[in-house]
Amino acid sequence: LQSAGSRGEQARKLVIDLETRGKQAFPMFLSILRDTGQGDLADMLMEEYQGLPAAPQPVDLQPVQLDIHAEKHNKSCFTATCAWQVYELKADPCGRCLIINNVTFSRDSCLSPRDGSDVDCKKLEKRFKALRFDVLTRRNLPAQEMVSELQRLARRDHSALDCCIVVILSHGCQTSHIQFPGGVYGTDGTPIPIEKIVNYFNGSNCPSLRGKPKLFFIQACGGEQKDRGFEVDHDSPSDEAPEGSLESDAVPFQTPLGNGDEPDAVASLPTPSDILVSYSTFPGFVSWREVSSGSWYVETLDSVLEQHARSEDLLNMLLRVANAVSARGRYKQIPGCFNFLRKKFFFSCK
């Protein structure tokens, strides 16, 4: 960029470069700049964007006036507030939400009880009901019952609905994968790859959800590594774990015998679209949970949704979650996100 010349020319080059990286790249970059206190730079880039030659179909970046006197059945529907495309949630309920909460595991599994997970579950039940979802909670399911429950949801008719959410609270591990890393454990100690779970709901296996957002929230470890973060001052804490009832959902990665994937099945998977998978931690690392208050990730996610779900898009909220969780406690935990959404997603209207 420095070779472009003046500051204004550098900004123009950056805007053009971002425009070539997809429709979401420029607005997401502006959002990150504002969230990190660089609003002046974001405003300058917006000015450069507006000064670019008009595209064949000009984009109007001005807000769209909301009709607050809409009919009753449309009052809770989302209306686009900017020129970027959005997923519309017009149905009521707007979609189904399945929460699988694994707390107690079989003795043979050698997995410890996940004390505090019920706190997470109750928070998310309440939150997604408030966001107009039909919530179903299942507790302590072995792997095969988890698969059956997920397949049952995927086979239902979602034609009259606009969204689908799956939440899994369990122990986790690393697994081999193509697109979505990690796995979650059933109460019998059998792991299920996240990739397998997600693909029950892809366009081939769940036609009534084609073109509709499918959101997955995974509270489980991505592995057993502990991110110690980095020293910021001479008073930084040592490597000791925080005091209190702090646990992780980690299970060591075990390489499967032979080829763990079915080559034909993997090769036939369609490219995912309209899918977002939000992980409580970055792949390969542990995820912390407290007995009394639940997991750091769910506690923060619930708080962010409560404060911002009616005013911000989902990706911006997940950025808030990542910033808050990664800065918490003596050990760093950085939530991860694999995003294949084609449009902006809002839970409700402003």
Note the pLDDT tens digit of each residue in 36-84: 667 777 777 777 666 655 544 444 444 444 444 444 444 443 333 344 6
Domain match, 26 and 123 both:
no
The secondary element (H helix, E strand) that includes residue 127 is helix 117-130
Burial class (CB in 10 A: 0-12, 13-18, 19+), 288: buried
Which of 146-155, 317-326, 332-341 has the largest mean confidence? Answer: 146-155
Token pair in block for residue 259: 């080829």
Domain boundary among 34, 49, 64: 49
With pLDDT > 90 as the criterion, what percentage of the chain qualifies?
47
Provide the residue type at 260 as one letter: G
| Residue 334 or 162, more confident | 162
* Residue 18 φ/ψ, nearest 5 degrees: -65, -35
Residues 32 and 101 in one domain: no
Same domain membership, residue 211 and residue 305: yes
Alpha-carbon distance values, 123 to 40, 118, 186, 327 (Å): 37, 9, 22, 22
Query: What's 152's domain CATH number?
Result: 3.40.50.1460
Strand partners, 288: 248
Residues 190-214 have a mean pLDDT of 95
What pLDDT is attached to residue 23? Answer: 64
Domain-embedded: residue 72 = no
Q: Are residues 129 and 45 in the same domain?
A: no
CA 96, 100, 105 angle in degrees (round to 5)? 170
Total count of domains within the chain: 2
Q: Are residues 116 and 202 in the same domain?
A: yes
Query: What is residue 95's three-state secondary structure?
Result: strand
Q: Which domain holds residue 14?
A: 8-49
In a domain, 68, yes or no: no
184: which 2 tokens? 């979650």
| Structure token digits, residue 174 | 């690393």
Residues 297-317: tens digit of each pLDDT: 999 999 999 999 999 999 999
pLDDT of the residue at 255: 36
Task: Check if 73 is active-site.
Answer: no
DSSP state of 311: T
User: Is residue 254 in some structural domain?
Assistant: no
Q: Given the structure tokens 């059945």, which residue do they identify?
A: 73
Least confident of 16-20, 189-193, 223-227: 223-227
Where residue 217 falls among pLDDT bands split at 50, 70, 90?
A: very high
For residue 347, what pLDDT band results from cuts at 50, 70 and 90?
very high
Catalytic site residue from 94, 171, 173, 349:
171
- From the candidates 97, 121, 173, 221, which is the catalytic residue? 221
258 assigned to some structural domain: no
Handedness of CA 16, 18, 20, 24 (dihedral sign): negative
Identify the pLDDT of residue 339: 94
Confidence of residue 17 (pLDDT cuts 50, 70, 90): low
pLDDT the model gives residue 330: 53
CA–CA separation, 29 and 217 (whole Å): 24
Within-domain flag for 347: no
* Same-domain check for residues 100 and 45: no
143, 221: one domain: yes
Q: Which of 103, 221, 190, 199 is nearest to 150 (CA)?
A: 199
- Compute how many other C-beta atoms are within 10 angstroms of the C-beta atom of residue 240: 8
The lowest-confidence range among 131-145, 242-256, 310-324, 330-344 is 242-256
Quick check: 192 pLDDT over 60? yes
pTM (predicted TM-score): 0.67
Whole-angstrom distance, CA of residue 294 vs CA of residue 118: 8
Give the model's pLDDT for residue 107. 93
- If asked whether residues 104 and 44 sit together in one domain, one would say no
Predicted local distance difference test score (pLDDT) of residue 72: 42
What pLDDT score does 328 carry? 78
Band of pLDDT at residue 226, cut at 50, 70 and 90: very low
> What pLDDT was estimated at residue 46?
77
**Are 173 and 301 contained in the same domain?**
yes
Residue 143 has which token pair? 């792997």
Q: What letter does residue 73 receive in the DSSP assignment? A: G
Q: What is the mean pLDDT of the chain?
A: 77
Kindly state whether residues 35 and 109 are assigned to the same domain: no
315: in domain: yes
Does some domain include residue 247?
Answer: no
* Nearest of 215, 214, 109 to residue 171 by alpha carbon: 109
87: in domain: no
How far is 210 from 204, CA to CA, in rounded Å?
8
The pLDDT value given to residue 101: 98
Nearest to 312 by CA among 92, 32, 54: 32
Residue 33 or residue 228, greater confidence: 33
Residues in contact with 215: Cβ distance below 8 Å, sequence separation at least 6, in sequence order: 163, 164, 165, 166, 276, 278, 314, 345
* Domain co-membership, 176 together with 115: yes
State which of 25-34, 51-60, 64-73, 272-281 shows the largest mean pLDDT.
272-281
Asked if 206 and 120 sit in the same domain, the reply is yes
- Please compute the mean of the pLDDT values over residues 161-187 and round it to a whole number: 93
Q: How confident is the model at residue 166 (pLDDT cuts 50, 70, 90)?
A: very high
Q: Is 337 among the residues known to form the active site?
A: no
Question: How far apart, in whole angstroms, are the C-alpha atoms of residue 44 and residue 295?
Answer: 39
Comparing 9-13, 152-156, 223-227, 269-273, the range with the smallest average pLDDT is 223-227
